[in-house]
Each structure stands twice: as C-alpha cells, then as structure tokens.
C-alpha cells in the first residue's frame, strides 16, 4: 500500500514537472516573438569629410556614436512570421575627432603642451524602416536630419600638484585658449544591418537581445563659413585657415552593439 502511494505521488510530481516545462517552453517561444519597442546602441568607427570639407579639413578620424529610439512593430498585417518590419523613430549623438595635434609649449613656464583640435559633434533625429528576417537579421534604411557642431580649439595643458586623502598627487589640467564654433545644418541617408548575438529570456515576461550593428550614413551639410586650426606657434598663438561658403558633407561608417528590449 505504501509502495503504491509512493508511485502515485512520484507520478503526479513528474506530471507536474512536465507540464511546468511545457508551459515554460511555450512562454519562451512567445517571448522570443514578442515585439521589442526599445532600442539603444553604441558604435565606433570613422567620420570622413567629403568634397570641399575633405579638401579643407582632411580625411577624418575616430568617431563615437550613441543613440536610441522607439520601435513601432510589427507594421505588416502578419504579426509573428519569419518576415516583418518596423518603423523606428529615434535620436543619436556623437563625437568625431577630425584632427588632433600636440606641440610643446617652449616659451612659457605655465603650460607644458598646446593641443589643437578640429572636431565635430553630430546630433540627428532619424526615421528608420527596419526589416525582421526570422528574428535574427534586421537590415534597415533610414533618413536623418539635424546639425553638426564644428569646433576648432586650442587648449593649454599643464600639471598641477593637489593634495588628495593626505597625499600629494599630480593632475593634468587644460585651459581653452582659443575656440571657434559653427553649426552646420544637414540631412542624411543611411543603411545598416543588425545581427542578433544573444537572446535574453527572463520568465515570466521579460525578453531582450544584444546585436551586432554595422551602419553607414551620409550627411549632406549646408554650405557654411568655418575655421580650421592648422598650428600653434611656440608662444601659444593659434594659426588658422578660414573658409567661406564651403561644403560640410561627412560620411560616417560605424560598427557597434545594439540592444533591443
């Protein structure tokens, strides 16, 4: 009798376990297909001036970009299929070091070096049409508009002794001793692809994914007046070149990580 009861209880336990596993499997399947409305990304690459901008400023340099948006998905009638699409509205912000140089401050006892930099801060709003291929590959095309804040600056760099927690330390500090800033309005077109690397499922109702994001965007900038720092002499005087009604197009090529949640 005891043996029979033990078998019944054990059988019931295994049945409950199997049902729980089946329910979890169904929940996981549904969560993998659940729309992901949130998007955040960070990417690195290059910002490459084009046309007049390249002739005046140079070939370009390191670029960092971060942004995010809201995804309206799916936008096609068939909801959970191997092919669908979404509309993503968002914003991104970046920094591009087009040219950065250092010159020793020979004729001053205060500064150790002069650093002169030509850089761009891109700010964009974008609308993206993004395809969903089998929940793994997400190619997209986008249009964007915004502004580039172009800066030509010279900083004086020096070391200062400070007392921290009872100990003396040397810290590197900078003073801005020359600056010229201009705003270029722009619009752009871009394309890219996101490839899913990791799927994160947390029962009962949370799902997110990490993706490799590869993209390119061409910005058509308005013709503008701007300056470029070309050198700093031994006395700290900044030498510049000025351009009038010149082009400001720039191409961004990036790769990074995106998060859909």
Strand 113-133 versus strand 83-104 pairing type: antiparallel
The pLDDT of residue 26 is: 67
The pLDDT of residue 11 is: 47
Q: Which residue has the higher pLDDT, 15 or 258?
A: 258
pLDDT category of residue 163 using cuts at 50, 70 and 90: confident
Check if the beta carbon of residue 44 is closer than 8 Å to that of residue 64.
yes
The pLDDT of residue 19 is: 45
Task: Name the residue among 213, 250, 210 with its Cα closest to residue 43.
Answer: 213
The pLDDT of residue 161 is: 85
Q: Which long-range contacts (CB under 8 A, 24 or more apart) does 77-82 make?
A: 80/33, 82/133, 82/134, 82/135
User: Residue 146: pLDDT above 60?
Assistant: yes
User: Residue 61: pLDDT above 90?
Assistant: yes
* Mean of pLDDT values over 175-191: 96
């Amino acid at each position: 009798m005891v043996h029979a009861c033990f078998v019944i209880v054990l059988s019931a336990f295994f049945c409950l376990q199997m049902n729980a596993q089946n329910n979890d499997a169904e929940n996981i399947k549904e969560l993998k297909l659940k729309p992901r409305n949130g998007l955040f990304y960070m990417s690195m690459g290059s910002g490459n001036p084009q046309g007049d901008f390249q002739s005046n400023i140079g070939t370009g340099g390191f670029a960092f970009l971060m942004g995010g948006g809201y995804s309206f998905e799916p936008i096609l009638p068939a909801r959970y299929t191997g092919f669908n699409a979404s509309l993503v509205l968002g914003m991104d912000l970046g920094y591009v070091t087009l040219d950065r140089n250092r010159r020793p401050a020979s004729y001053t006892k205060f500064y150790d070096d002069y650093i002169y930099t030509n850089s761009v801060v891109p700010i964009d709003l974008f609308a993206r049409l993004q395809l969903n291929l089998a929940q793994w590959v997400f190619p997209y095309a986008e249009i964007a508009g915004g502004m580039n804040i172009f800066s030509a600056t010279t900083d004086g760099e020096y070391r200062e002794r400070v007392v921290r927690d009872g100990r003396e330390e040397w810290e590197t500090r900078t003073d801005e001793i020359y600056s010229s800033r201009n705003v270029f309005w722009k619009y752009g077109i871009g394309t890219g692809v996101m490839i899913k690397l990791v799927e994160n499922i947390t029962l009962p109702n949370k799902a997110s994914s990490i993706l490799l994001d590869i993209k390119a965007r061409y910005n058509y900038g308005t013709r503008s007046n701007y300056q470029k720092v070309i050198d700093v002499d031994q006395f700290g005087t900044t030498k510049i070149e000025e351009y009038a009604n010149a082009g400001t197009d720039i191409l961004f090529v990036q790769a990074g990580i995106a998060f859909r949640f």
